[in-house]
Amino acid sequence: MEKILCIAHTQPDGNLPSVALEALGAAVRLVQQLDGATLSVGLIGQNVKPAAESVATCGATRFLSVAGAEFEVSRYASDAAAVEAIARSAEATIVIAPATLRFSRSLPGVVQRLKGRIETHVTGMDAADGKLSIQRWYYRQRMMATLTRMQRPWFLLLDGGVFPAWQGEPGTTTLENLAVELGENLLRTKVIGIQAPSTNARTIRPNADVLFVAGAGWTKKQADGELHLNEAGERILGFLANCNSSLGSSKSLVDQSVEGVPVLPFMSHLNQVGQTGSTPRHPKGLATCCHGEEPHAVGWRFINERRAINTDASCGWAQGKADVLYVADAFQVMAKVNELLAG
Amino acid sequence: MDGGYHIVVCGSIVPDPLQTLAPVEGPTGPSLKNEMMLPAVLDPWAGHALYEAAHLAKNMPGSKVWLVSLGPKQKLQQLMMSIAQKVSFELVVLDGPAGGFTDPCEVASVLAGGIETIQGLDRSRLLLFGGCASASRDAGVTMQMVGEQLGITDQFLGVDELVVQPDGTLKILERSEGGQYQVSVCAAAPALLAWATGNLPEPPNNPQIGMANMRTVMPALQKALPAKVGAEGVSFLSVELPKQRRETRIVRDMPPDEIAREIVDWIKG
């Protein structure tokens, strides 16, 4: 009989992030699929009562918490101590958590302490014949594996945007607060705050409908033999503003900033999509001035509809990686696109 | 810090990202087709960690860098021909598989064991560096497990910047959700930093560094101990390439205005 624990941490406003509700939705579904399985919910934060009440009707038999000011912040030592206490109390055999920075950082250490095992970037779960199997990608989204394992506790970090979020009525519940003492050695790290990257605009929007990717072509000499960085910046930021889209980049473009080549000032490595960047999830993606080579295109694995603008009709996007490739000058096309969107 | 840091970087090889990869089923589980023949590179994020380590060591007199690599020693030897020319380090070789289908717990155990054998390593001055994830397994968990085994409870994931402040504290920027950074200050070493891209370019080749490194690289390769790493307890039910290949419509000779209209309709649709 599996004892399933779904853990989550609160946001600064005391609520649960949407990815936590997705993890809870997956956990509830798994409990329904596995005969005799039970569900516990573990919550970490300064004050988790409102969060517990918001998911009180999810069917969990126990609601465990580690709460207090020191557990509001995202810090390895305190997070690991909190998760360890909850997992031990729940005697969990399967632990399901959203892939936030806090849990991505702290859960592996907890797994080590509990002599368990962990799978991350989980994008699918199934419980056929009473046996849990999961899906995850290897080699940066190049191949998909379905696997199961014997060891317990088995920790699963679920990627966001994959599983339907749990939906239900709030209610009341009895919260079991676990006391976790943090010695001085666990408080050597102080969280100072959150800082936007050293660029002048917030360009990464994980919930946007459209991902706009700019490649190095924007910073190359154009048909007139000149660079047009200002115009490139205007076109790109104009589209982001008009469409409320998220901005991605090819590696070659963001690498230019450390190589002393002229760059777009609002770009950083945080925008990078692909092999050594992110793999965002958006319904649509538009690539511009980017060749769509494999190391970049693997970052598009979870973009549903893909279009590209490139002057090269034989670029990577034409090789079955995009739905539509427009062989055109992105400067001209995006100027008109912005005009139409603004109108 | 007086006397500098002892910086241990964990990093190994991955297939060159431009290579076509295909899974095959072997007697011990899945692996890559022609894995030993594929050109390999230093795992990109581990590479950034190594360059950041070398940069920090250069600016903190008395510091020293070790590179601890788990991989087939023939392939590590090939890798050293390029990497050893870039930054100074002492190599520790653990001769075992470097593929993505091994279990990170087993890998972490071997790496931690390798680090514990380093002669003269001062754990109170230890900064443990590595990539925030590999380009093979891409789990993003191995470094934290190594850190935990070494008793390091100040850990940071997805680091892009480390500043040693005048009072000796470590100011660290970690990638957070939504394209932002979490800023933390850690009192002192020991600490673990699993790096993202960092801020440094790949250093140019320097033959003098290469010659100096090779004096320790070759002996390290020769005395490499075999490391047993697998995926015990795991059953891979399937490993397959994604089947989806799009039927790309290539639009040529369409005026920019028309393309723009089509794109706007698509976005709004």
Give the ipTM of the model, two decimals please: 0.95
Task: Give the model's pLDDT for residue A19.
Answer: 96
Is residue B36 within 8 angstroms of chain A, CB to CB?
Answer: no
What does the domain layout of chain A look like in residue ranges?
3-186, 210-342
Is residue A303 within 8 angstroms of chain B, CB to CB?
Answer: no
Percentage of residues in chain B having pLDDT higher than 70: 99
Q: Domain A3-186 carries which CATH code?
A: 3.40.50.620
Tokens of A173: 């519940």
As a whole number, the mean pLDDT across chain A is: 94
Same topology, domains A3-186 and A210-342? Answer is yes
As a whole number, the mean pLDDT across chain B is: 95
Per-residue pLDDT, averaged over A40-52, amounts to 98
Give the pLDDT band of residue B2 (cuts 50, 70, 90).
low
Closest chain A residue by Cα to residue B139: A120
What domains does chain B contain, in order, with CATH numbers?
6-226 (3.40.50.620)
Per-residue pLDDT, averaged over A96-118, amounts to 98
Over 70: is that where the pLDDT of A259 sits? no
Over 80: is that where the pLDDT of A157 sits? yes
Is residue A61 within 8 angstroms of chain B, CB to CB?
Answer: no
Three-state SS annotation for chain B: CCCCCEEEEECCEEECCCCCCCEEEECCEEEECCHHHCCEEECHHHHHHHHHHHHHHHHCCCCEEEEEEEECHHHHHHHHHHHCCCCCCEEEEEECCCCCCCCHHHHHHHHHHHHHCCCCCCHHHEEEEEECCCCCCCCCCHHHHHHHHCCCCCEEEEEEEEEECCCCCEEEEEEECCCEEEEEEECCCCEEEEECCCCCCCCCCCHHHHHHHHHHHHHHHHCCEECCCCCCCEEEEEEECCCCCCCCEEECCCCHHHHHHHHHHHHHC
Is residue B100 within 8 angstroms of chain A, CB to CB?
Answer: yes
Task: Give the model's pLDDT for residue B3.
Answer: 81
A97 closest CA partner among A160, A32, A152, A179 = A160
What distance in Å separates residue A173's CA from the closest CA in chain B? Answer: 30
Task: Give the model's pLDDT for residue B182.
Answer: 97
What distance in Å separates residue B215's CA from the closest CA in chain A? Answer: 31
Q: Is the peptide bond before B201 cis (omega within 30 degrees of 0)?
A: no
* Partners of residue A269 in chain B, C-beta under 8 Å: 160, 196-197
| pTM score | 0.93
pLDDT digits (tens, 9 = 90+) for B10-24: 999 999 988 999 999
Task: Give the model's pLDDT for residue A7.
Answer: 98
Fold for domain A210-342?
Rossmann fold (3.40.50)
From A189, A328, A341, residue closest to B256, measured CB to CB:
A328
Over 70: is that where the pLDDT of B42 sits? yes
Q: Do B181 and A276 touch (CB under 8 A)?
A: no
